[in-house]
Amino acid sequence: MKALHYAVYLLAGVAAAGAALYLVVYLYRWEWQRALLCGVLLLVIELLLVGTVVLARLGRLDRRITASHARGEEVLRRLEQSRAEGPTRFRWLNEGDRGVMVFVPVLMATGAALSGLALLVQKVASASVRPGAERRLAGRLASLAAPPGGICGNGPWPAEEPPVPPARPRRGALAVAGVVVVALAGTLLVKAISDATQTRGADVPDAAATTVVFQIEVGGTEDTTAYPQAADALWETCRRAISAPRQHGVLGRLEDDVFVGVLRPPLAAHDMRRLHGCLSDATSDRTVAHVLGRGQATSEEH
């Protein structure tokens, strides 16, 4: 059973790590639909892990309650069995047994008399013993004591050992260093993700325009005459997704399902990544695009 739990934890951990990795990758690529799917998958896996742990704990608690209830039932059964056998009492009080009725009181009186005699002997012995006798007894027992260096001759006495273990500064320093390293790694990771996904200004490349070639697929129809309208709707949606304002945007058709978009002035690397991610991830009127290529066009090419 434990092996099955460990296998579930291992598979869920690997799936959660993969979902978290692709979540970061899709955020970097500005592919929001896929990032949302990975985020939902990560939440589902986390809920699965939490549910597995909770169910395991509840199962253990149920087994403990069942065992405790079984022990209580066993004790109750024994009590009921002893109660069914009749009330218990001293045998010497039984009126039908005259011999025991006479013997037990005599035994109790004899025990009381012997206890008083022993007390008297103890008082006499304590009054007659002198301190010298205890000193002689201590001298006789001194040969049985351990040597000053311990049993092996080189160990300290137990009384010389400190009651509290000494402090371990190395362990504390390692713990502090571990916390610092984890905090620094987390800070660098957050900074790297924010730098990759945040909207910010950038230097415009030295080119005449930015070109993107993509292929589209329109679901539910095979009529190629509807492709230009679907491609134009998807192109305009992704043009509005980038941060830099565009002055000129032209969409041309190369083949039946292949189109090329031209943007002036050219896009920076950050905006280019956002446009690529939008075309690869967004859907408009059942239209899906596949980016075939992108780049910067110089003035000689135009």
Domain extent, residue 101, equals 89-124
30: left (phi over 0), alpha (psi -120 to 50) or beta: left
Average pLDDT, the chain: 77
pLDDT at 1 over 60: yes
Are residues 72 and 106 located together in one domain of the fold?
A: no
pLDDT at 206 over 80: no
Would 247 be classed as within a structural domain?
Answer: yes
What is the tens place of the pLDDT at every residue in 239-293? 877 766 666 778 888 888 889 888 888 888 878 888 888 888 877 777 888 888 8
What is the tens place of the pLDDT at every residue in 184-202? 988 887 777 776 666 666 6
* pLDDT for 302: 43
For every residue of 46-114, DSSP letters joined together read HHHHHHHHHHHHHHHHHHHHHHHHHHHHHHHHHHHHHHHT-----GGG-TT-HHHHHHHHHHHHHHHHH
The C-alpha atoms of residue 246 and residue 224 are separated, in whole angstroms, by: 28
The C-alpha atoms of residue 111 and residue 107 are separated, in whole angstroms, by: 6
pLDDT at 143 over 70: no
The C-alpha atoms of residue 29 and residue 281 are separated, in whole angstroms, by: 10
Instruction: Give which of 267, 212, 208 is closest to 242, Cα–Cα.
Output: 267
The CATH number assigned to the domain holding 233 equals: 3.30.70.3400
Would 233 be classed as within a structural domain?
Answer: yes
β partners of residue 287 = 218, 284
* Cα-based distances in Å from 27 to 23, 37, 180: 6, 11, 27
The C-alpha atoms of residue 263 and residue 295 are separated, in whole angstroms, by: 11
Are residues 239 and 272 located together in one domain of the fold?
A: yes
* pLDDT for 288: 83
Are residues 20 and 57 located together in one domain of the fold?
A: yes
- The residue among 18, 47, 76 that closes a domain is 76
Are residues 111 and 31 located together in one domain of the fold?
A: no
Would 185 be classed as within a structural domain?
Answer: no
Would 134 be classed as within a structural domain?
Answer: no
Are residues 48 and 106 located together in one domain of the fold?
A: no
Would 131 be classed as within a structural domain?
Answer: no
Query: Which position has the higher pLDDT, 5 or 136?
Result: 5
Would 40 be classed as within a structural domain?
Answer: yes
Are residues 215 and 297 located together in one domain of the fold?
A: yes
Are residues 105 and 55 located together in one domain of the fold?
A: no
The C-alpha atoms of residue 3 and residue 10 are separated, in whole angstroms, by: 10
Q: What's the total number of domains in the chain? A: 3
Instruction: Give which of 91, 131, 86 is closest to 107, Cα–Cα.
Output: 91
Would 183 be classed as within a structural domain?
Answer: no
Are residues 287 and 227 located together in one domain of the fold?
A: yes
Are residues 60 and 112 located together in one domain of the fold?
A: no
Are residues 35 and 95 located together in one domain of the fold?
A: no
Hey, what are 168's tokens?
Answer: 């371990």
Would 117 be classed as within a structural domain?
Answer: yes
DSSP code for 284: B
Are residues 36 and 108 located together in one domain of the fold?
A: no
- The residue among 76, 100, 115 that closes a domain is 76
The C-alpha atoms of residue 39 and residue 300 are separated, in whole angstroms, by: 45
The C-alpha atoms of residue 92 and residue 105 are separated, in whole angstroms, by: 9
Are residues 69 and 93 located together in one domain of the fold?
A: no
How many other C-beta atoms lie within 10 A of the C-beta of residue 46?
A: 13
Full-model pTM = 0.48
Question: In sequence order, what are the residues at sequence separation of 6 or more whose Cβ sits closer than 8 angstroms to the Cβ of residue 146?
Answer: 157
